[in-house]
Structure formats: structure tokens, C-alpha cells
Structure 1
Amino acid sequence: MILQPSIKIKAKPFLKWAGGKTQLLPIIDSFLPKSFQKENNITYIEPFVGGGAMLFFMLQKYRNIKHAIINDLNPHLVKAYKVIRDEPHILIDSLQEIQSKYQTLDGYENQKAFYLDIRTRFNTLALTDIETASYLIFMNRTCFNGLYRENSKGNFNVPFGKYSNPTICDPSLILANSELLQKVEITHGDFSKTETYVNGYTFVYLDPPYRPLNATSNFNAYVKTAFDDSEQIRLRNFYVSLSEKGCHEILSNSDGKGYHKEDIFFDELYKDFKIERIYAKRSINANPIKRGSITELLIRNYTICQGIK
């Protein structure tokens, strides 16, 4: 049987990423089509890979995925994935050097100065791919709340965090991820470019920047360009196009109606598809009081037992 329910997860996200799907994996898994378990040669596509929780889970549980394509608009993130896949040992050496320097610094102010220097280098210098990946991972482990955020100029602008002894280099994780990424094609650019990779039985998981529930929750600045309602509509058209090609798809997004009952933006936008409301706990918020369970959407274009409608 292709399905492997008792798998030991070795590979997992190497970055903390806002909107990461780790906690929702069992729920998303339960909504996969039954036919997915029977196919012997699956093409798996993620147009918005982000932290990659779904990717690492799927590749380890479903060995019938023979070809995977991941894409993201964030060039630094894409470089990090490629470095982990292609040059893991060099990355480990680089991270260990950074970790050693950081851990020898005495006091918060000295560590903060070191962090700000790395952040300036990341934003202003022409870096090698190894440096880009190393700096990105270092900042993710030491910045405030593990956020990734860019300003309008495209510069990473998250302040320094307060961690007593962060793990900057995790060699076993990097090597496990590298092994899994060997069969993954990694691309950079607009989500629409991934349509060209549809081949045979294709499953697509779409996890775009979420539509804000209100003005104060408008966090989708993974890149300097905003993912506004016009982009959400363009994504819906992409979703329809893939569906017409025979792809199975699941799309995640925020549930505006769960926050404001009159907000039916997604209910109207995806009225021709199956919309599920699930609970998720979100921990990345500057105000701890606002961290908690909210409903999110899973939108699919198939019935679980019978495939595409």
C-alpha cells in the first residue's frame, strides 16, 4: 500500500514562517482525495512554498510523488532552498561559523549589534547564495518572533529578538531536508508560471499570502509587493485554469466571514468549489492576547472519494 501512516518525520521547515501549516497538516491530509493514495506517479506543485511544512510532510508520507515543483516570489527564500538541496555541507560550515561568533558575544547589546550588522549586509551587499541562505536562517532564528517581513524598498526590516540560546545551525535538519529536496525542482517568480509543470496526475497545494481580516492584521509583506484583492482574484482564475486541466487542488486562505459575517469575498469567489472551514491557532502576533484559534478556509475542487467534480 502506498500510504504510509506511521512515518517518522525527519525533514521539516528550516524557517519559522508566518502562516506556516505544521499544526494543520493532519487536517489537510484528511481532505486529500482518496485517489491520491492509489496513483503511482504523482506530480506535486506548490506555487507559494513559504516555510515548506506541507512540502516536507507530503514528500515523506507519500512516496508516490515522483516529481515536485516548488515556487516562491521571495528570491532569498528560493536561494535558501536551492542551497540546502545542492550545497548542504557548505551551508552547515557557514552557519556554524556564524553561530560560534554569535555565542561568544557577551550581552544583549553586543548580540543585537551583530544581528543588525548581518541584517545590513543582507539588505545592501551583493551576497553569494551561501551567504544569503546563512544570513536568512540566522536572522530567522534571532529576530523578533521569527518573522520575515520586507518594507516597500524590499529590505528585511524585522528587529532583533530576545532568545537566550537560539539554535542557529541544525546539521541533521539541513541534511534531512537536502536529501528530500533532491527530487524537487525549485523556481522563483509569479505563481502562474507553475502551470507549465502540470504533468499527468497533478496535485497542487496553494497557500498564498492571506487576505487580511482587518486593517491591523494586514501582514502579507513577504515581498515588497502587496498581495491585494486583485491578486486574490487573479489567483482564483489560475485555480480555475488548473482545475480545467484536471489537477486536484487545495487552497488555504483566511476566513473573512468567520471574522465579519458580512464578508463573503471568498464564498463568492470560490462558490463553484468546496469550501471547508477549519480551526487554526496563530502564534505570530505582536499582541499575545490576539494569538488564538480562528477559522481558516480550505478550498478544494474535488470530492474526497470520487475525484474532481
Structure 2
Amino acid sequence: MNKTCFNGLFRLNRKGEFNVPYGKYKNPTICDEENITNVHEILKDVTIENKTYTYSEKFIDENSFVYLDPPYRPLSKTSNFTSYSENNFNDDNQKELAQYFSNITRKGAWAMLSNSDPHNTNPDDNFFDDLYSKYTIKRVKAKRSINSKGNSRGEINEILVTNY
């Protein structure tokens, strides 16, 4: 889907229906046979679960590295994309995720989380700084290619939270 949809975007509307227009790609590679074969080899003894992130906690130990990439907290009222389905991921969910981050930290796992940086639009919004105050927070530049206005695309800050 990311090879043919507008800017590689995947999104569902409130009814749970896919609603992204076609991208303007001249000759996208949709079926990469070599890559599919390689992925098949790597995943042939892997079980993939379709569960909530909390389900994974029982598999995590001190030998684990966990990267969390939740729906990002909106920076403005017009950037309110907070889910890939009809279920929103709000501030209460962000707080639950922070608790999960603490739980897996106590288990000895190495953990990293990315999210939007509220300081992009409000320097006084310390939501994540407060939520992850016990951990390392780095602000990094990230390119944005999805925006209805082409001249509004570009670099903004994101946060990376680590427990190491």
C-alpha cells in the first residue's frame, strides 16, 4: 500500500474504511520477488500475533530491545491523526503507554519510544517531558512529507525517549 497510496499513507476513516487516494507514481515496484523470498526465509519460524502492545510484555526480558512507535500526539487541531483505525489514541492512552514503558524497563529491557514534540507548536507543553522525566529525552529532526499543503512539508522535531 505504501508503494501506491498518496505519500505512502495508510489511514482509515471513522467507519473503519480505507480512505487514502492513489499516489502519483509512474512505475512503483509492488511485488519485489527477491525481497519477498528473503522475508519468507527470515520469518519462516516466527509467529506473528495481532494483539495489543501490552500482550507482548510477557515475552520481554533483559535480552529484549523494544521500540515503541505509537500514534503520535497531535500538535494542532488540524493534525489530529491519532490512530490507524476507528479507535483513537488519546492522552490517557499515552499515559498507559508510559506505564508500559516503565514496566518493561523494570524487566531489564532496553526501550526506545518516538513521538511528536509538543514544543514545535507550544514551548510550554511539557506533556512528554513530564511523562518520561525519569528517562532520556532527545529531540531529533524528522522530515514530514505528508501535508495537504506542499509548502508546509519539511523538518520538525520529534522526541526519542530511551531508558538507557
TM-score, structure 2 normalization: 0.91
In 1, the alpha carbon distance for the partners of 2:149 and 2:8 equals: 15
- Whose helix proportion is higher, 1 or 2? 1
Q: By how many angstroms is 1:267 displaced?
A: 0.4
* Bigger Cα Rg: 1
Instruction: Establish whether residue 197 from structure 1 lines up as the match of residue 59 from structure 2.
Output: yes
In 2, the alpha carbon distance for the partners of 1:220 and 1:174 equals: 30
Instruction: Give yes or no for contact 2:61–2:109 (8 Å, CA) kept in 1.
Output: no
SS of 1:257's equivalent?
A: helix
Gaps of 5+ in 2: none
Instruction: Establish whether residue 229 from structure 1 lines up as the match of residue 91 from structure 2.
Output: yes
Instruction: Establish whether residue 272 from structure 1 lines up as the match of residue 134 from structure 2.
Output: yes
* Alignment match of 2:18 (pick from 156, 170, 173): 156
In 2, the alpha carbon distance for the partners of 1:174 and 1:284 equals: 27
Partner of 1:258: 120
TM-score, structure 1 normalization: 0.50
Partner of 1:297: 159
Instruction: Give yes or no for contact 1:151–1:221 (8 Å, CA) kept in 2.
Output: no
Residues 237-264 of structure 1, C-alpha deviation per residue, up to 9 Å, x if partnerless? 1111111111111111111123310111
* Alignment match of 1:241 (pick from 87, 99, 103): 103
Percent identity (aligned):
48
Partner of 2:3: 141
Instruction: Establish whether residue 166 from structure 1 lines up as the match of residue 49 from structure 2.
Output: no
Matches within 5 A, 1:96-107: none
Instruction: Give yes or no for contact 2:61–2:107 (8 Å, CA) kept in 1.
Output: no
More moved, 200-209 vs 232-241: 200-209
Q: By how many angstroms is 1:160 displaced?
A: 2.7
Partner of 1:207: 69
Partner of 1:219: 81
Query: Which structure has the higher relative contact order (CA within 8 Å, separation 6+)?
Result: 1
In 1, the alpha carbon distance for the partners of 2:8 and 2:135 equals: 34
In 2, the alpha carbon distance for the partners of 1:257 and 1:184 equals: 40
Gaps of 5+ in 1: 1-136, 303-309
In 2, the alpha carbon distance for the partners of 1:252 and 1:276 equals: 10
Partner of 1:306: none
In 2, the alpha carbon distance for the partners of 1:189 and 1:143 equals: 26
Instruction: Give yes or no for contact 2:9–2:20 (8 Å, CA) kept in 1.
Output: yes
Residues 127-172 of structure 1, C-alpha deviation per residue, up to 9 Å, x if partnerless? xxxxxxxxxx4xx432322211001121111123332222222111
- Report the count of equivalent residues: 164
SS of 1:174's equivalent?
A: helix
Report the CA distance shift for 1:187/1:288 in structure 2 as closer, same or farther (over 3 A).
Answer: same
Q: What is the aligned-residue RMSD (CA, Å)?
A: 1.6
SS of 1:188's equivalent?
A: coil
In 1, the alpha carbon distance for the partners of 2:72 and 2:65 equals: 21
Residues 213-244 of structure 1, C-alpha deviation per residue, up to 9 Å, x if partnerless? 11111223312111111110110011111111
Residues 96-125 of structure 1, C-alpha deviation per residue, up to 9 Å, x if partnerless? xxxxxxxxxxxxxxxxxxxxxxxxxxxxxx
Instruction: Give yes or no for contact 1:143–1:160 (8 Å, CA) kept in 2.
Output: yes
* Alignment match of 2:41 (pick from 179, 182, 185): 179
4+ long deviations beyond 6 Å: none
